[in-house]
Structure 1
Amino acid sequence: MPECSVVRKSWGELTTDELYSILKLRTDVFFVEQRIDEEELDNRDQEPTTEHFWIADDRGVAAYLRVLWDGEASHRDAHRIVGRVVVRGDRRGEGLAQVVFAEAVERHGHDAMLLHAQEYIAPLYSKFGFEPFGAAYVEAGLPHLSMYRPGA
């Protein structure tokens, strides 16, 4: 796994350049590459409890995820929801998703966590203690699994 510095910020701490780079990565991958036509900007990014984690290089954000807080647990006791996990195409295969994901779990692993994984990437999340529950389903036109990790 590469040695990379993970940045963590809330909405109010993001610079306009950081925000642009995050949104560019997310739209390049989710809209252009994966052709997901569902709402990307869902107003959850700007909530005061949302945390943005990313790794940047000289081209901008290379890997990203966000951690949401939901007051109502949607599964068991999980209030933390990991989402929008994405790696720029030219940096895939370097382990960046593992690095940024490990940072989020390190920071919030004491809380139960939930995520909706694209089915092909579920083995990555299993390495961090997430277990699938329920049947596979299609979300945004892609096969997904709901995954849960109890708090430590």
Structure 2
Amino acid sequence: MNLSHTVKAFDELTIYELYDLLKLRSEVFVVEQNCVFLDQDDKDQKCHHLMLYEGNHLVGYSRLVPPGLSYSEMSIGRVVTSPEGRGKGYGRILMDLSIQYCHQFLGDGPIRIGAQTYALGFYSSLGFVSDGEVYDEDGIEHVEMIRQN
């Protein structure tokens, strides 16, 4: 397993990194999940972007969202693993790194996410607990979850 990762603020991303992360998000969130939505929501510019690579191929991505942008707490969003990277434990590695870098870049405090309901068990295993009712976001069931320090 030849994994590496990088975390960058939006204005530090190369055009190739930006292209790759937007392509991966579209491949999974729009095409695979058959969900028509505007992915570019004007939040990326204020976030840090975590990219997980196998060799030089982007296999995972998340954005680290500062408090007050999506929720009053800091957040991890747009969590995605490439179809080729699934079943290899990359999602857990990606989330462990995301939690670590949230605290490094955004400080101490709880982390809130909007999780797709099919992934509740996964996020629970990382210390997140459901916090609210199930809601529909772009035709997919979600629930907010929170993780204390």
Higher helix share: 2
Amino acid at match of 2:37: E
Query: Which of 69, 87, 100 is residue 93 of structure 1 equivalent to?
Result: 87
Instruction: Determine if contact 2:43/2:69 at 8 Å carries over to the other structure.
Output: no
Instruction: Determine if contact 1:64/1:97 at 8 Å carries over to the other structure.
Output: no
Identity across the alignment (%): 31
Equivalent in the alignment of 1:51? 48
Alignment of 1:23 with 2:15, yes or no, is no
Instruction: Summarize the alignment of residues 3-152 of structure 1 with structure 2, pairs less than 5 Å apart.
Output: 4-47=3-46, 50-58=47-55, 60-71=57-68, 74=71, 78-109=72-103, 110-150=108-148, 152=149
Per-residue Cα deviation, 1:2-32 (whole angstroms, up to 9, x for no partner): 5622211110110111110000000011111
Which structure 2 residue ranges, 5 or more long, are not aligned?
none
CA distance in 2, matches of 1:140, 1:83: 15
Normalising to structure 1: TM-score of the pair?
0.87
Which structure 1 residue ranges, 5 or more long, are not aligned?
none
CA distance in 2, matches of 1:7, 1:127: 24
Give the match's secondary structure for 1:134.
coil
Instruction: Determine if contact 2:4/2:55 at 8 Å carries over to the other structure.
Output: no
- Shift of residue 59 of structure 1? 6.1
Per-residue Cα deviation, 1:51-105 (whole angstroms, up to 9, x for no partner): 111112356311000011133784xxx5211110001111111111111110111
Amino acid at match of 1:129: G
- The count of corresponding residues between Structure 1 and Structure 2 is 145
Per-residue Cα deviation, 1:100-152 (whole angstroms, up to 9, x for no partner): 110111233532110000111121211221100111111111111110112x2
Give the match's secondary structure for 1:8.
strand
CA distance in 2, matches of 1:86, 1:53: 11
Amino acid at match of 2:59: A
